[in-house]
Amino acid sequence: MSFWRVLLAILFPPLAVIGKGCGSVLIVLILTVCGWIPGVIAALIILNNPKS
């Protein structure tokens, strides 16, 4: 996980996970609309997942 991805996940979470698939972007987008903090947390969890 690079510094730029983490920074992007903090500023605009759905854009940070765009390379992880449509489902990830949709989940993070919904969580970001509900609240910025849940979107950031979800984006960081998805980016930190070594399987994807």
Q: What is the pLDDT of residues 5-39, one digit of tens each?
A: 999 999 999 999 998 889 999 999 999 999 999 99
pTM of the shown model = 0.88
For 18, other C-beta atoms within 10 Å of its C-beta total 12
Between 1 and 17, the higher pLDDT residue: 17
**Which of 52, 46, 50 minimizes the C-alpha distance to 6?**
46
Cβ atoms of 26 and 17 within 8 Å: the answer is no
